Amino acid sequence: MANKLQSTPRADGFRMPGEFEAHKGCWMIWPERTDNWRNGGKPAQKAFVEVAEAIAKYEEVTMCVSQTQYMAAKEMLSSNIRVVEMSNDDAWMRDVGPTFVVNDQGDVRGVDWRFNAWGGLVDGLYFPWDKDDQVAKKVCEIENIDYYSLESFVLEGGSIHSDGDGTAIVTEACLLDESRNPDLSKEEIENTLKEYLNVDKVLWLPNGIYLDETNEHVDNIVHYCAPGVLTLAWTDDETDPQYPLSKAAFDYLSNEKDAKGRTLEIHKIHIPDEVLITKEESEGVDSVDGTLPREEGDRQAASYANFYIANNAVILPLFGDEKHDNQAQETLQKIFPDRDIVGIYAREIILGGGNIHCITQQQPLG
């Protein structure tokens, strides 16, 4: 039985662990929205299968699938991947799933934030989003995990990173956007994070990745690899619109210390060459009023920082840019010498507006 709790993780001694800590498994959602995924979602489904199968070599994977697609997903996934039927509005488990928290006794609980499709009626990416907003609670119920539920605080899992050791990192562009919690001050938002992630310090990057449709989620520009150790999406091209955003993040992080007083070790990972939507890709997406158009030539917010850390592995998006794909793999192998670095060609995922980190949510071992 999963109970809705009235207290907070901080009051109860629970904290959000780092993604690099041990996992029980990983949760995903099957893509099928034809106004977000081209060609009826088929190419994206193949990419999601590749990601799920890669992660399943290292930890349990559960795929949540609508009733309509349930049998098709079962057919495409190996039998070691658990498939559960769950309604959804789209496929971004990082953002709609629970943020799991753990205590020192090994208990695991969930945090169920309010979800408004990355901006509600201000600049949300679809309407309605009520099914997505139910996903976190349903995951906790399936796992018999008690959960904290925030009735009005809007937040997506991709807009926070935790080092598991007292520090969280976010972007001002996303968390202070008028489409999330316009009635709260920066201090009130920070205090909510401190209470529900159980951190003592929040690092505020000004921005994320250029043209990121989530209002610049932190998980697309940086990733905690260990306490005090971060990757940062970078470009050496000073004429690229990403340059000032990454430079500002680098300067900020270089001059900050984390909650434990550490200077941060920052590993720059160069972004891939521009990923632009082709005519064929654009034509494959249903054009629906109220959702973001996918026009030929549109630049995608492609970044290697959007990787997923699994038990003993890192699942890394690749973009078919040999030079930068290789550099990203090499940098991550140095940071994670004991983990396999598994690259997956992720163009079909970035065409939907996010990447491998955005479509996964780790459940800690506790």
Residues recognised as catalytic: 358
Stretch that binds ligand KQY, among 59-67, 79-87, 131-139, 347-355 (CB under 6 A): 347-355
Name the residue nearer to ligand KQY (CB basis): 95 or 258: 95
Phi and psi, residue 309, nearest 5°: -95, 115
Task: Say whether residue 284 binds ligand KQY (CB under 6 A).
Answer: no
Task: Say whether residue 124 binds ligand KQY (CB under 6 A).
Answer: no
Gap between the Cα atoms of 246 and 170, Å rounded:
14
Label residues 207-236 b or e (16+ Cβ within 10 Å = b): bbbbebbbbbbbbbbbbbbbbbbbbbbbbe
Q: Residue 352 CB, nearest distance to ligand KQY (Å)?
A: 6
Q: How many residues bind ligand KQY (CB under 6 A)?
A: 13
For 129, the 3-state DSSP assignment is coil
Q: Residue 50 CB, nearest distance to ligand KQY (Å)?
A: 18
Gap between the Cα atoms of 330 and 325, Å rounded:
9
Gap between the Cα atoms of 55 and 310, Å rounded:
7
- In the list 27, 48, 92, 204, the residue contacting ligand KQY (rule: CB under 6 A) is 92
What does DSSP assign to residue 263?
B
Stretch that binds ligand KQY, among 92-100, 127-135, 197-205, 268-276 (CB under 6 A): 92-100
Name the residue nearer to ligand KQY (CB basis): 86 or 264: 86
- Reduced DSSP (H G I as helix, E B as strand, rest coil) percent helix, strand, coil of the chain, to 5: 30, 25, 45
- In the list 123, 195, 213, 240, the residue contacting ligand KQY (rule: CB under 6 A) is 213
- In the list 214, 231, 235, 363, the residue contacting ligand KQY (rule: CB under 6 A) is 214
Gap between the Cα atoms of 152 and 20, Å rounded:
30
Task: Say whether residue 125 binds ligand KQY (CB under 6 A).
Answer: yes
Q: Residue 188 CB, nearest distance to ligand KQY (Å)?
A: 24
Q: Residue 211 CB, nearest distance to ligand KQY (Å)?
A: 12
- Going by C-alpha positions, the residue among 278, 269, 200 that lies closest to residue 230 is 269
Gap between the Cα atoms of 148 and 154, Å rounded:
14
Q: Residue 11 CB, nearest distance to ligand KQY (Å)?
A: 29
Strands 108-114, 308-310: pairing is unpaired
Judge contact between 227 and 260, C-beta under 8 A.
yes
- In the list 18, 358, 360, 364, the residue contacting ligand KQY (rule: CB under 6 A) is 358
Name the residue nearer to ligand KQY (CB basis): 216 or 321: 216
- In the list 98, 158, 208, 228, the residue contacting ligand KQY (rule: CB under 6 A) is 158
Name the residue nearer to ligand KQY (CB basis): 43 or 352: 352
Stretch that binds ligand KQY, among 8-16, 187-195, 257-265, 349-357 (CB under 6 A): 349-357
Q: Residue 30 CB, nearest distance to ligand KQY (Å)?
A: 15
Task: Say whether residue 352 binds ligand KQY (CB under 6 A).
Answer: yes
Q: Residue 209 CB, nearest distance to ligand KQY (Å)?
A: 9
Cβ-based neighbours of 300, under 8 Å, separated by 6 or more: 211, 275, 276, 277, 350, 351
- In the list 94, 201, 270, 339, the residue contacting ligand KQY (rule: CB under 6 A) is 94
Structure token digits, residue 52: 């799920």
Give me the half-sphere count of Cα atoms (radius 13 Å) on the Cβ side of residue 277: 24
Judge contact between 42 and 350, C-beta under 8 A.
no
Task: Say whether residue 180 binds ligand KQY (CB under 6 A).
Answer: no
Stretch that binds ligand KQY, among 173-181, 187-195, 213-221, 312-320 (CB under 6 A): 213-221
Phi and psi, residue 209, nearest 5°: -95, 135
Phi and psi, residue 215, nearest 5°: 65, 30
**To which residue do tokens 């990416």 refer?**
125
Angle value at C-alpha 118, between 156 and 187, nearest 5 degrees = 60
From residue 22 to residue 61, what is the string marking binding to ligand KQY with x (rule CB under 6 A)? --------------x-------------------------
The binding site for ligand KQY (CB under 6 A) comprises 36, 92, 94-95, 125, 158, 213-214, 217, 352-354, 358
